[in-house]
Amino acid sequence: MSGGPLPDDAPEAGYDYDMIVIGGGSGGLAVSKEASALGKKVAVFDFVKPSPAGTTWGLGGTCVNVGCIPKKLMHQAGLHGGNIEDAKSFGWNVGATTHSWETMVSNVQDHIGSLNWGYKVQLRDKAVTYKNEFAKFVDAHTIETEDKRGRKKTYTSRRFVIACGGRPTYDADIDPSLYITSDDLFSLEKPPGKTLVVGASYVALECAGFISHLGMEAHVMMRSIPLRGFDQQMSNMIVDYMEGKAADADGNIVSIGDSEGGEHRPTTQFIKGAVVDTVVGTADGKKTVTWKSSDGGQVMGTDTYDTILYAIGRQACTGALALDTVGVATERNGKMKTTCEQTNVPHIYAIGDVIYGQLELTPVAIQAGRLLARRLFGGSTMQMDYDQVPTTVFTPIEYGCTGLSEEDAIEKFGEENLEVFHSYYQPLEWTVPHKQDNACYMKMICNKLDSFRVVGFHVLGPNAGEITQGVGVAVKCGATKEDFDNTVGIHPTVGEEITTLEVTKSSGVEATKSGC
């Protein structure tokens, strides 16, 4: 869609609800609670269809149940394994350690269960009606719903918000009973064991990372590039780190085991330029995978795994909503083009992962939902700003970013108009355990024609998310390189590095740091 919002001029009265929200994830919960707080009668319909492996979950959507929350907790579990090893260098007498997948999953799921219950309580306290029923449109202002027992009902509403999110993409050529997705991983009753992760998305790399750091063998099958859409220098540095490699002082990629006294940590094997050809189940429940080159189709290799995890993308959950019945246009992936969250049908809106071409991030859906409710019912005119949204990839070495990737910045401003300040650095906490010197990296992309305004920030290292959240505020406020230079750093922290960046890529000067 282009231009401004369309007139939304249907009669205000005569419906069961002022607003019906389809989807009880982060965005759906946010918009419903905000609309109810503004005095409107609101209902949320949320129903999770089981995955092919039979996995289902409660209220809260992907983030809470099979996304951000369990992912971050299992990432933390993997980091703890490394912290135990580091503790020895700091004088702790640590004996043999083992990890219990079952204990971790049980405790993570207990926490998720408490969140599911908490969301129900919040909706009740905010006077939002919650229905665990699957909804689809039957006419412009009516939905038909079906509960888990097959009982059907109809409801009418003045406005609708589609916030049903997405689910993992499946490989049409492989029997889905032979593999799982992120829908299933976080509640597996038994450890996945030797795992093949198909795909190189952030979901793929995050899951492969914590699986390997929990003591299991993980392989990643990468068709082309890692972390498509992210800065490729940073993305490839993540792959190097996960493979057990990093740059030396001259920028050469070396193994962490090449130097005496170097770090010894879990690594992930990458199968590059490949796609799955066949998967065959074995008598003992394992899966034998044959893969071929992603360009010419030549068979490249074969191996046997305990678990195959597909992470090749996500599809919007709009296919069964009968959107064509009411004339809502969708793209091939099921997503909708919107203007100010409004679809081509004026009284039907969309937020979160179902919007075509926008960021699939929980805080984005929450912010967009709240602002939409305030515009519709509170007299606000504030629109959601999808630009300069900070985010973090929770791979074993975390990657935080806000603003443009270096590739996108060059395309937008021209390479000659940019200055990239960068530095390899070593967190103080990494010095005593003798971790790799040049695995951590930071760069700030500045527009020379606009007072060296920061148009992109990228950091690879521990606590990258915490650093990026603070930097994100500054970048959103239009900070320049001078603003960062004039800010006193907190010593000794990783975040301090943002105040001391001096070396530019264009200078060719070595960007490694030494001392404090």
CA 326/CA 162 separation, integer angstroms: 13
Measured from the Cβ of residue 103, the count of other Cβ atoms closer than 10 Å reads: 10
Compute the distance between CA of residue 400 and CA of residue 202 in angstroms, rounded to an integer.
12
Report the alpha-carbon distance of residue 299 to residue 265 in Å, rounded.
31
* CA proximity to 72, closest of 384, 369, 340, 395: 395
The residues, any chain, with a CB within 8 Å of residue 253's CB and separated by 6 or more, are 240, 245, 246, 247
**In Å, how far from its chain's centre is CA 126?**
29
Q: What are the angstrom distances between the C-alpha of 262 and each of 85, 91, 95, 198? A: 13, 18, 21, 30
Active-site annotation holder among 80, 213, 434, 491 = 491
* Cα 354 from Cα 359, distance rounded (Å): 10
Please tell me whether the peptide bond between 492 and the residue prior to it is cis, using omega within 30 degrees of 0. yes
Please measure the distance between the N-terminal and C-terminal CA atoms of the chain and give it in whole angstroms: 52
For residue 378, what are its two tokens? 């509170």
**Sequence-ordered list of residues with C-beta below 8 angstroms from that of 373, at least 6 positions apart, any chain:** 30, 31, 34, 35, 38
Active site residue 75: no
Helix ranges restricted to H, 254-351: none
Residue 356, SS3 per DSSP:
coil
Tokens of 80: 């703890």
As a 3-state breakdown, the chain gives helix, strand, coil percent values, each rounded to 5, of 30, 25, 45
H or E segment to which residue 444 belongs = strand 440-447
What is the maximum alpha-carbon separation in the chain? 77
Spatial distance between the Cα atoms of 198 and 485, rounded to a whole number of angstroms: 42
Report how far residue 143's alpha carbon sits from residue 137's, in angstroms, rounded to the nearest whole number: 4
Catalytic residue annotation: 491
